[in-house]
Structure 1
């Protein structure tokens, strides 16, 4: 599948002196809760390590979550959100290239109501969305908030995918005990992109399927999904920017589209980077490998996967 990485390479922003801050990606993460502070940090710092210029974190004040995140890294722009008020987030959407919703979000009704309003607002302006973690449980309860939006990427693990499958079957009137295939779920939801995480990452838009089975690591430390969400969001933003600034190169873009949509190309590149980084981290740290070890490998592994990407 190295040819898919070749399709992604032109979408990586060139590092040239004439660039302005933000042109290589303005990413946001909406998530975090009093129980889960690390998740949005892992997504956000991974995005910056991959090469986005700016990363905003929208996170609640409850339980000191926002304060804790502010102390983890001065690189992240942390917005403390009072009482899950979506009006504190929605005005920022116009300045973003992608929003990642779900890492550490939790399952409170207030957080879910806020996330629903932000998803609706993002759809209204065609902002790319990556949905992860508890945001996928929210989608499973209300498929309509994401159905038909082809600028959305969903990143379920096995349990999260089963919830989505059950909800789609209910929508279809299917009373069997069968688990739908990811491509069936993607198709029923209007050909949105699904990245089903597992031993192999299966990426589909309902029409086509790509498997990412590159070697990763056997250590299942928490946080790897958060890294992947940050990676997918960043790379999806880059692909959107590539289209925006290369509209005079329509023949090349059309050729790529006929092979795979950019949501799938971006997702495959992100899955490949996470697997390569986790493999390298495990080679050094073995059983003691933690999420930060994987993040530390991202810079070198990115250059190994995408040589001469400057």
Structure 2
């Protein structure tokens, strides 16, 4: 389909973006937490965290191990990040904080140690118990292959697998269903089995589905495959998902009153504008579109030398291009070459 559908999705998401005003207090534009990092992968949680802050969340916590100086390194990279050093992977160091955040991101740079996975499993279960929205990325996606039930039927979960992580999830589900085919399951089929969790199958095109509806983001990115782009995406989606949840919460409160002093998110008189799409789908599409455009803008300047830090530098300009231009023609320019939306027909094929 043409880019008009993509523009509609972006405009629908834009209603979620907090309006900046002097009456707001810290935290009203989103409180995000990230569990990740390891002695090998210090940069991943930093990239997720800094993208969250640069996009516009107010507060970002990072729970990272002290092993290898990981937590200390992240602290020095960005003083605005609230870094919690984990001396050992004790879930009790993380779980009490869950009540004070809007979205939890687990996985960037997590690694595959038994202690990290055990702790992450307990944190995922605790988050589910309090109905906390989650984004699972990186090694957290490999972790859940050991026990799909910890996320199954939790429609507040967004999964962001790359090619190999998606294959791992597909192989696990095929084993559960006794499917012997060598083909990889479709994202729709995988989502249906998992109880309609939202899945972003990253690739040349990002396929985003909740098993009922599917959006394909194919806007231009860049050919440079530097590490860290997925971490930026996790942080972007986590932040945008938090905004969507805050909007829906505040909008439901305002439905019984014409005004609310505590309403922190811009509302709209057309309450049916987003009814066709879940907040997870809209936030995911917006995040994928945004990060691809950051990559495109960075590559235009730096070409083969482009690294993830160059993408971070493009966040302010890119956010304005996509989300803050009132003229739909300008939005069209920013999201050019995007396709499109299709409503999945609950098909049971691959």
Per the normalisation by structure 2, the TM-score is 0.86
Structure 2 residue aligned with 1:287: 304
Distance 1:252 1:188 in 2: 34
| Alpha-carbon distance, 1:142 to partner | 1.1
Give the number of the structure whose alpha-carbon radius of gyration is greater: 2
Structure 2 residue aligned with 1:169: 174
Range moving further from structure 2, 299-308 or 154-163? 299-308
Matched, 1:116 2:121: yes
| Alpha-carbon distance, 1:174 to partner | 1.3
Whether the aligned pair in 2 keeps the contact of 1:39 and 1:103 (CA below 8 Å) is yes
Distance 1:252 1:74 in 2: 40
Aligned residues: 308
Distance 1:304 1:255 in 2: 22
**Which of 272, 278, 292 pairs up with 1:275?**
292
What SS is found at the alignment partner of 2:216? strand
Matched, 1:23 2:28: yes
Structure 1 residue aligned with 2:46: 41
Distance 1:192 1:93 in 2: 20
**Which of 112, 131, 137 pairs up with 1:126?**
131
Deviations 1:8-56 (A, max 9, x none): 0110000011111000000011000000000000000000000000000
Structure 1 residue aligned with 2:145: 140
Matched, 1:296 2:301: no
Matched, 1:264 2:281: yes
| Alpha-carbon distance, 1:83 to partner | 1.2
**Correspondence list, 1:45-194, <5 A:** 45-194=50-199
| Alpha-carbon distance, 1:226 to partner | 0.1
| Alpha-carbon distance, 1:104 to partner | 0.1
Distance 2:292 2:325 in 1: 20
| Alpha-carbon distance, 1:191 to partner | 0.1
What SS is found at the alignment partner of 2:314? helix
What SS is found at the alignment partner of 2:182? coil
Structure 2, unaligned runs of 5 or more: 1-5, 257-268, 327-350
Distance 2:145 2:271 in 1: 33
| Alpha-carbon distance, 1:141 to partner | 1.7
Structure 1 residue aligned with 2:234: 229
Distance 1:37 1:31 in 2: 9
Structure scoring higher RCO (CA < 8 A, sep ≥ 6) equals 2
Distance 1:188 1:13 in 2: 34
Distance 1:14 1:173 in 2: 50
Q: Whose helix proportion is higher, 1 or 2?
A: 1
Structure 1, unaligned runs of 5 or more: none
Per the normalisation by structure 1, the TM-score is 0.97
Change beyond 3 A, Cα 1:215–1:249: farther
Deviations 1:62-103 (A, max 9, x none): 111111111111010000012111100000000000010000
